[in-house]
Amino acid sequence: MDFLDLDRLLSEEERLIRDTTRSFVADKVLPEIAGWFERGHFPRELAKELGDLGLLGMHLEGYGCAGTNAVSYGLACLELEAGDSGFRSFVSVQGSLAMFPIWRFGSEEQKRRWLPPMAAGEVVGCFGLTEPDFGSNPAGMRTSARRDGGDWVLDGTKMWITNGGIADLAVVWARAEDGVRGFLVPTDTPGFSARDIDRKLSLRASVTSELVLDGCRLPGDAVLPDVQGMRGPLSCLNEARYGIVWGAMGAARACFASALEYATTRVQFDRPIGGFQLTQQKLADMLVELSKGTLLALHLGRMKDDGRLTAEQVSLGKLNNVREALAIARAARTILGANGVTLEYPVIRHANNLESVLTYEGTSEVHSLVLGQALTGLSAFQ
């Protein structure tokens, strides 16, 4: 699978983290994932194991977090998503969307209270930004936060929230008098409720929920003190998108491996289908895009570790790698013929999952517009 010998570009520690994550996926995820996907189930009990492996909030320093570099975090995302995008989503949401804002914008007390149990997988977090009427344009959000004496009172609805129904803590972004603010909402707070979104045909091994805040009263210190405005949620999304740049290549690698294996064993017209030129063309194209995408992820990871990575560069990575992963998944599906539409093979599951990955954390269209704006200086969003 490592055609360009990218392994040599990794440090010993990075390889160790990658291999440990790969073993976890092989032992705990792959044997069960088809059934979980079919039943629409995420095994919450594995959160503690992910915590024990140091994978939750792994790129954050202190407070029980592993403090790895960005490349190691990316490699873990790749291996998890080679298992299923639902697992990478869980780790992305926990580490980059729920823990990161506390770590970056929280008070010392908030960090001490929440980060260690979240890193251990004992407390599960979610990130509530999207609303039913505000997806690509979250700045239009209607969820409100008003002061009432020393308290805050939140009202509104958040939609499509990963981990919502299994979360102990929701990081909710709401409009206050002084702009958008982030709130730490324990999910047993009166006025908070979550309803899981069923009948989803993508990311089935991941919980996606609607959050309702109905006069949800929080103490004055529930607000993240160090950020105001959309910079707060957007900086979290940038962290998570970086993980997707890597993760998408994990899903692509799994599809490629499945197609390659199938092509060399499935016989039609008295020869393995991998011997037909049209199949070889597909495999060669898949290999080229998988190799380029993985190299791109590694390059962006090294830039992030140097403190040089911009949001626009992350957009380029997310746009390319998810788009190409989806193309690889679809090409792999054709190689598997009818078997390609069953859960006996991982391909249709990854292809379906990648449809969500294409949409969340900024749609492919939105990332194209980010690049268009960077190139021309002209915003085409409105």
Residues that bind ligand FAD (CB under 6 A): 93, 127-130, 135-136, 160-162, 203, 208, 356, 359-360, 363, 365-366, 369, 381
**Least distance in angstroms from the C-beta of 29 to ligand FAD:** 18
Closest CA to 105 of 199, 233, 289: 233
Continuous segment of H or E residues that includes residue 212: strand 208-218
Helices (H), the chain: 12-24, 33-39, 46-52, 70-83, 85-92, 100-105, 108-119, 231-265, 277-305, 311-335, 347-359, 364-376
**CA separation for the pair 110, 101 (Å, rounded):** 11
The minimum distance between CB 256 and ligand FAD, in angstroms, equals 23
Alpha-carbon distances, residue 19 vs 7, 46, 79 (angstroms): 11, 18, 8
Separation of alpha carbons 228 and 153, rounded Å: 17
Q: Which residues of 96-116 are buried (b: 16+ CB within 10 A; e: fewer)?
A: bbbbbbbbbbbeeebbebbbb
Q: How far is the CB of 127 from ligand FAD (least distance, A)?
A: 5
Q: Which is nearer to ligand FAD, 168 or 305 (CB)?
A: 168
Of 20 and 157, which CB lies nearer to ligand FAD in the complex structure?
A: 157
In this complex, which beta carbon is closest to ligand FAD, that of residue 339 or of residue 363?
363
Residue nearest to ligand FAD (CB): 135
Q: Which of 14, 122, 361, 365 is catalytic?
A: 361
Least distance from ligand FAD to the Cβ atom of residue 338, Å: 27
Q: 251 near 80, Cβ under 8 Å?
A: no
Q: How far is the CB of 9 from ligand FAD (least distance, A)?
A: 32
By beta-carbon proximity to ligand FAD, the closer residue of 135 and 186 is 135
Q: Which residue, 144 or 363, is less far from ligand FAD as judged by CB?
A: 363
Tell me whether residue 361 is one of the annotated catalytic residues: yes
Is residue 184 within 8 A of residue 222, CB to CB? The reply is yes
Report the catalytic residues. Answer: 361
